[in-house]
Structure 1
């Protein structure tokens, strides 16, 4: 049970595995206005940057669940680095079936709503771990602009333009699920650049260091077009944000 090796190579230098920079992640932690010792569950937590920095900055207590052994090793090292290993724990497992033993103040899934087969299922999964009056954090793409054609759709990691919604409809969908949107923090084009461009550097360094690896040709072909694809399509058409929800 693990992520494909190509994914961990592509994001090997990332602490945040979505188009947020550290400033936006910090802003998200601040706007929640949670008391010290609030409990946080992060499903598909990646390298644990949200848990570790919020444990340091806001004295939160947290659990992260992820399928990647590589990212979880980085998360545990980061917890030690920031002096919060006694406040956070990381579980290797399939986040799609994980429910907290004790109800939490915040249940999060940032950019991995496939664990619930989409937004409705992910919201339902987060609710199973949430205390009454708690908050859910859902990170999800949306269309900044109507995609020009199917090539644009696929370059934005979708199979159909119906996979994502425009921002107003994205917000309205949460209301239809019985939740109020009480805050949101959105990625911008610069934070998209930081996320995407870091992948190009990771790929190039890996290619230089591993010329005989079986993945070399595949990842070389990816890097050949990655920058142009990003500036032509993803940067212009695809938005991403974290929406803070409370049940009605």
Structure 2
């Protein structure tokens, strides 16, 4: 079972691949789409959950998504067709870091996908290339809510604390116009959904050759979350506008 299969099964009960509940997603999209007729782009769109929600809510919206996973894009196409928004959605099967569009976008999203670009600031640099004048970026990334253990750093990378993260974003030429810090309930609900869905699938399919691996992955992830990084990890979403340029 590869990483993509594990992720698909794990997110069955929590389709937004980030620790955000439905109300938080709705509010973030409201702040990112003030008019309702914007053109939006999701860099690392996965199954297109953000795009489909935006298209369903705003009938004048047009959206594009980029991802390296063909199966995730196929899922996005199927969902968009089921909801009747497929004619306003364009999907690109390629590396989001290499994507080049022929036009600019009013909102560029990248939530939980900064690893694809090499970090937070590198993701903002990529988003800037696609942004129309006066446009907005919706970005989501982790931060250290308290001093992490060396094991947590090895596992999740060299994140910054919240004030440092904000300072770096502002110094890079961005002004935050809205933000959301995931609550403890959002963080815990996401992790329980992630590990629970994967474990449930394994227990429901005991004869599947991948069931043992899926259950092991759920157990490993749950132990890492509870014992290594739960108390130190936070998640931040920001709506940003360019300070200048």
The alignment's TM-score, normalised by the length of structure 1, stands at 0.87
State how far apart, in whole Å, the 2-side matches of 1:174 and 1:240 are.
15
Q: Note the 1:75-154 alignment, pairs <5 A.
A: 75-147=76-148, 149-154=149-154
Per-residue CA deviation, residues 63-82 of structure 1 (Å, 9 max, x unaligned), is 01112223222222222233
> 2:138, 2:240 within 8 Å by CA — same for their partners in 1?
yes
What SS class does the counterpart of residue 86 from structure 2 fall into?
A: coil
Q: Deviation digits for residues 70-109 of structure 1, max 9, x if unmatched?
A: 3222222222233222222222221111122211101111
Matched, 1:199 2:197: no
Aligned to 1:29: 29
Q: Which residue of 2 aligns with 1:180?
A: 175
Instruction: Tell me how far 1:202 sits from its aligned partner.
Output: 2.1
Give per-residue Cα distances to partners, 1:100-148, cap 9 Å, x unaligned: 221110111111112221122211111111111111121110011111x
Q: Which deviates the most, 84-93 or 204-213?
A: 204-213
Deviation at 1:213, TM superposition (A): 5.0
Q: Decide which moves more: 4-13 or 109-118.
A: 4-13
Output the CA distance in 2 between the equivalents of 1:190 and 1:68.
Answer: 30
**Cα distance, 1:145–1:96 mapped onto 2, change above 3 Å:** same
Mapped partners of 2:46, 2:21: distance in 1: 15
Please tell me the root mean square deviation across aligned C-alpha atoms, in Å: 2.2
Q: Is the 8 A contact 1:44 1:95 kept in 2?
A: yes
Distance 1:239 1:48 in 2: 24
Does residue 1:158 correspond to 2:159, yes or no?
Answer: no
What's 1:10 paired with? 10
Q: Secondary structure at the match of 2:135?
A: strand
Instruction: Indicate how the Cα distance of structure 1 residues 229 and 115 shifts in structure 2: closer, same or farther if over 3 A, else same.
Output: closer
What is the TM-score when the length of structure 2 is the normalising length? Answer: 0.88
* Number of aligned residues: 241
Where do residues 196-235 of structure 1 align in structure 2 (5 Å cutoff)? 196-211=191-206, 213=208, 215-235=210-230
Residues 172-194 of structure 1, C-alpha deviations (whole Å, 9 max, x = no match): 11112111112112211111122
SS of the residue aligned with 1:86? helix
SS of alignment partner, residue 127 of structure 1: helix
Shift of 1:166: 0.8
State the distance in 2 between where 1:7 and 1:217 align: 16
- Cα pair 2:97 2:116 within 8 Å, conserved: yes
Listed one character per residue, the Cα deviations across residues 189-243 of structure 1 (whole Å, up to 9, x for unaligned) are 1111222111222212331344455544433333334434323444321111211
Question: Using the alignment, how far apart are the partners of 1:35 and 1:105 within structure 2?
Answer: 10
Structure 2: gaps spanning 5 or more residues: none
